A and B are shown apart, each in its own frame.
Chain A
Amino acid sequence: MKNDQSSLINKIKPGVEKSNNKVFQPLRTWFGKYISRKTFIIIRKTFFDICSLKKLIITIIAMLFLPLIFIFMPTGIDFGLISSHHAATIIGIALLFPAFFWTLGIAYTSIIGTSGSHLIAEEVSSGTMLILVSKPISRIKIFLGKYLAVIFFGMLISFISIFTIGWSGVLIKSGNIDHFISLVPFLTALYLYSVFIVFLFTSITMAFSSIFKKSRTASMIVLILIIFSFLAFMIIRTLTGALYGTFQIYHFDLGYHLGNVFVLFIETLNAIPPSAAWLMFFGQITGVYSLTSTIDPDQGINLGGLDKTNYYLPIFSLLIWILIAALLLFFGIWSLKRREISV
């Protein structure tokens, strides 16, 4: 019985196949277990199901809504007098909060959550999945096809949004197109962060879609998680004050971890230099920076801005949530594999 992946490989690289047999064949076979032409067929169908032109436009507008408000707020700075780098910093600081909190935060995660939550659950409950699983395609591929479609969709909308935010920021604030170049590190940091977010939230959403009967249950849970991460924990952090650290609430505070990872990308890419202007704000929203660090009034200088709370090393926050996302991905696959498909 010739399976689909090996025949595909034969078609793509008839020459290489034989010479590298020992090394590449097992690798290809392993890879082909998860990704093959059939996976791409599923990806394509799912992608166009979740990404109609109308939806794409509405989505982008929704994601841009908050940053645009921030962009239109006057800064009182004459962009003609400052360096390109300085201009990028000011634009970056203006965009930082709406980008983290809204565009790549509440809006982005909600869109991922609602786009992905029905993909498995609804196909099973409506009955279309019954025909799908009877076709000669493994359930792993069905899952990965849908999963990757959401990932690609997420990567597409975040790319468009970030790009648009950057351009409109530059055009509206300074009007000097050269400033866009200086803004690239910041936009890159945003994009890398969005890839992390789409990986995490697609895994969460699809795992729930894979186990629940109703897609509404899956999307409700994701939405509750989003509300907790971006809103509820902000209040909890403020209300609990020092207790937040004492009782180590940060372990469960996804909002803190996301902030931590966000700052990691900003720092690593040197996207925006630290300054009290945004650290304060960011500390309030995410708890990454300590708000109680006092500025010595005599010396009057605290150029480094606020101290980090450092509940977690940023890299740990990143790795732990990548690990969790990976586990959820496996869990989703495993659940679908075991799931009884009957109407």
Chain B
Amino acid sequence: MTQKKLKINYEVWSERLTKIYGKGKEELEAVSKIDLRVEPGIHGFLGPNGAGKTTTYNMLVGAISITEGEAKIRELKAGSVAAKQLIGFLPQDPVFYEDMTGEGYLIYMGQLGGLQAKEARRKAQELLDYFDLFDAREREIGKYSGGMKQKIGIAAALIHEPKVLILDEPTANLDPLGRVDVIQKIKELSDKVSVFVSSHILSEIEQMCEDVTMINHGKIVVSDSIKKIKKSFVSNLYILDTDMNEKFLEILKNKDFISKARIEEIDGKIHIIPKDPAKLQKIIPEMLIENKATLLSFHQPELSLQDIFMEIMSKKEDDEK
């Protein structure tokens, strides 16, 4: 098993990768000894605000120094020119040369990526066409909309034909239609390049990725295929809906066989994670009769990544206390 693992050529690999910002009292360990294993395909990178995603990406592309540990892109040292030849990077909130035209910008980026002028122009037009920006190619980027900028950013990351795309929240600041568009494009691209993408929107990650890595407070919480993660979590959540949810929540919270219970804001139903599911199933009918309440529904849902994410993050926090 381990031998087989070693043989895999990871797209992105890191060992005890660590970033400490600042010195002395202001020292902050933003990324703490993380071991990344990104295989070909689309790999999601999840974590709440300040978890360390951007910091990790910036180390992988050589923008900031690595405090400790090491990182590689397909066997090449992260940050080296050779490794950077293999990656295309879209930063979080990318900033462009506002006075350059879309086409001019892509050609410039292509040439910096090692393409000859002619080749860069050809690739640029191809990408402009692919991202529906061809008509805007002679307009200044400063006059592009947010969605157009995001797409020109991805095009610029792609122009030197990298093997691994590193996208830091590519759908941030986009409207729902824009999101769907960008996600669709990323999915299509994954035939040719591997994608390592971060996002806050878990449903998006769920649509795109097979594998995910979740981090919190700079540490990896879980890293596996979404399927496996779901399997290991599926049996744990129960959803109860009655005509007096608040009262039921109070009662349930105080039972010792309940590990967690809360009212989900979206649907107003009680989400329960029991320590002992059998006891929960038994007590619900009793509670209903006792309180003369009406049962609207009681079931185990197919878990979304969002639920699991919430669950994992809250568990972690409990552990830390």
Residues of A at under 8 Å CB distance from B? 1, 3-4, 7, 37-38, 41-42, 45, 126-128, 130-138, 338, 340-343
Q: Which residue of B lies closest to A40 (CB)?
A: B111
Query: In the assembled complex, how far is the CB of residue B151 from the closest CB belonging to chain A, in whole angstroms?
Result: 14
Which residues on B sit within 8 Å (CB–CB) of A342?
54-55, 58, 63-64
| Shortest Cβ distance from residue B189 to the other chain A in the assembled complex, whole angstroms | 18
B93 touches A131 (CB 8 A): no
Contact A135 B64 (CB under 8 A): no
Q: Which chain B residues lie closer than 8 Å to A138 at the CB level? A: 81
Across-interface contacts of A340 in B (CB, < 8 A): 63-65
Give the CA-CA distance A126 to B114 in the complex, in Å.
25
27 residue pairs bridging A and B, Cβ less than 8 Å apart: A37-B111, A41-B108, A41-B112, A42-B112, A127-B94, A127-B95, A128-B95, A128-B96, A130-B58, A130-B63, A130-B91, A130-B95, A131-B91, A131-B94, A133-B61, A133-B62, A134-B62, A135-B112, A135-B113, A136-B81, A136-B85, A136-B113, A136-B160, A340-B64, A341-B58, A342-B54, A342-B55
Docked complex Cα distance between A41 and B111 (Å): 7
Q: How many residue pairs between the two chains, A and B, have CB atoms under 8 Å in the bound complex?
A: 80
Q: Across the interface, which residues of A come within 8 angstroms of B54, CB to CB?
A: 342
A42 to B58, CA, bound (A): 22
Asked if A136 and B112 make an inter-chain contact with CB atoms under 8 angstroms apart, the answer reads: yes
Residues of B within 8 A of A3 (CB): 81-82
**Closest B residue, CB atoms, query A45:** B108
Residues on B with beta carbons closer than 8 Å to the beta carbon of A4? 114
In the assembled complex, the Cα of A1 lies from the Cα of B85 at a distance in Å of 9
Using a CB–CB cutoff of 8 Å, the interface residues on chain B facing chain A are 54-55, 58, 61-65, 76, 81-82, 84-85, 87, 89, 91, 93-97, 108-109, 111-114, 153, 156, 160
A42 to chain B, nearest CB (A): 8
Q: Are B109 and A135 in contact (CB under 8 A)?
A: yes
A306 to B65, CA, bound (A): 58
CB nearest neighbor in B for A38? B112
Q: Kindly state the separation between the CA atoms of A130 and B109 in the bound complex, as whole angstroms.
A: 13
Q: How far is the CA of A342 from the CA of B85 in the complex (A)?
A: 20
Are A134 and B89 interface neighbours, CB within 8 A?
Answer: yes
Of B63, B94, B111, which contacts A341 at CB under 8 A?
B63
What is the minimal beta-carbon distance from A123 to any residue of chain B, in angstroms? 9
A338 to B87, CA, bound (A): 21
CB distance from B152 to the nearest CB of A (A): 11
Smallest distance from the beta carbon of A216 to chain B beta carbons, Å? 19
**Residue of B at shortest CB range from A37?**
B111
Chain B contacts for A1, CB-based, 8 A? 76, 82, 85
Q: Which residue of A lies closest to B54 (CB)?
A: A342
Q: Is A135 touching B84 in the complex (CB atoms < 8 A)?
A: yes
Task: Indicate the member of B55, B63, B65 with the most A CB atoms within 10 Å.
Answer: B63
Known: A127-B93, A342-B58. A134 touches B65 (CB 8 A): no
Complex-state Cα separation, A3 to B54, whole angstroms: 28
Is A38 within 8 A of B111, CB to CB? yes
Q: Which residues of A contact B156 (CB under 8 A)?
A: 131
Q: Which residues of B contact A135 (CB under 8 A)?
A: 84, 109, 112-113, 160
Contacts of A7 in B (CB 8 A): 114
A71 CA / B55 CA spacing, docked (Å): 60
- Which residues of chain B come closer than 8 Å to A127, judged between CB atoms? 91, 93-95
For the complex of A and B, 4 pairs with smallest distance between CB atoms: A127-B95, A134-B89, A136-B85, A134-B61
Q: A42 to B109, alpha carbons, bound, how many Å? A: 10
**Least CB separation from B76: chain A residue:** A1
Complex: chain B residue closest to A137, CB-CB: B112
CA distance in complex: A340, B22 (Å): 11
Task: Compute how far the CA of A126 lies from the CA of B99 in the bound complex, rounded to whole angstroms.
Answer: 14
Beyond A134-B84, A341-B63, 20 additional contacts (C-beta under 8 Å) are A1-B76, A1-B82, A3-B82, A4-B114, A128-B95, A130-B95, A131-B95, A131-B96, A131-B153, A133-B61, A133-B63, A136-B82, A136-B85, A136-B114, A137-B84, A138-B81, A340-B65, A341-B64, A342-B54, A342-B58
List residues of chain A with CB within 8 A of the CB of B160. 135-136
The CA-CA distance from A71 to B302 in the complex, in Å, is 88
B288 vs chain A, min Cβ distance (A) = 55
Which residue of chain A lies nearest to B60 when distances are taken between CB atoms in the complex? Answer: A134
Residue among B81, B85, B87, B109 with the most chain A CB within 10 A?
A: B81
CB proximity of A20 to chain B, nearest CB, Å: 25
Instruction: State the Cβ distance, B302 to closest chain A Cβ, in Å.
Output: 39
| Nearest CB of A to B126, in Å | 19
- The minimal Cβ–Cβ distance linking B115 to chain A, given in whole angstroms, is 10
Query: Shortest Cβ distance from A133 into chain B, in angstroms?
Result: 5
Residues of B within 8 A of A38 (CB): 111-112, 114
Residues from chain A with Cβ under 8 Å of B111 in the complex: 37-38, 41
Given A136-B113, A338-B65, answer yes or no on A126-B95 (Cβ-Cβ < 8 Å). yes
Report the minimal beta-carbon distance from B103 to chain A, rounded to whole angstroms. 14
Bound-complex Cα distance A267 to B65 (A): 51
Q: Which residues of A contact B112 (CB under 8 A)?
A: 38, 41-42, 132, 135-137
> Using Cβ atoms and an 8 Å threshold, which residues of chain B touch A343?
91, 93, 95
Residues from chain B with a CB closer than 8 A to the CB of A133 are 61-63
Chain A residue numbers with a CB within 8 Å of B63 are 130, 133-134, 340-342
Q: In the complex, which residues of chain A have a beta carbon less than 8 angstroms from the beta carbon of B82?
A: 1, 3, 136
Q: Provide the bound-state CA to CA distance between A132 and B5, in Å.
A: 34
In the complex, chain A residues whose CB is within 8 Å of the CB of B62: 133-134
Could you say which residues of chain A place their CB within 8 Å of the CB of B81? Answer: 3, 136-138
- Shortest distance in angstroms between B93's beta carbon and chain A's nearest beta carbon? 7
Q: Which residues of chain A have C-beta atoms less than 8 A from B153's C-beta?
A: 131
- Distance of A120 from chain B, by nearest CB (Å): 14
- Write the nearest CB–CB distance from A268 to chain B, whole angstroms: 42
With the chains together, A1 CA to B76 CA distance in Å?
A: 10
Give the CA-CA distance A126 to B98 in the complex, in Å: 11
Q: Which of A42, A131, A137, A338 contacts B89 (CB 8 A)?
A: A131
Query: Given the complex, which residues of B lie within 8 Å of A126, measured CB to CB?
Result: 95
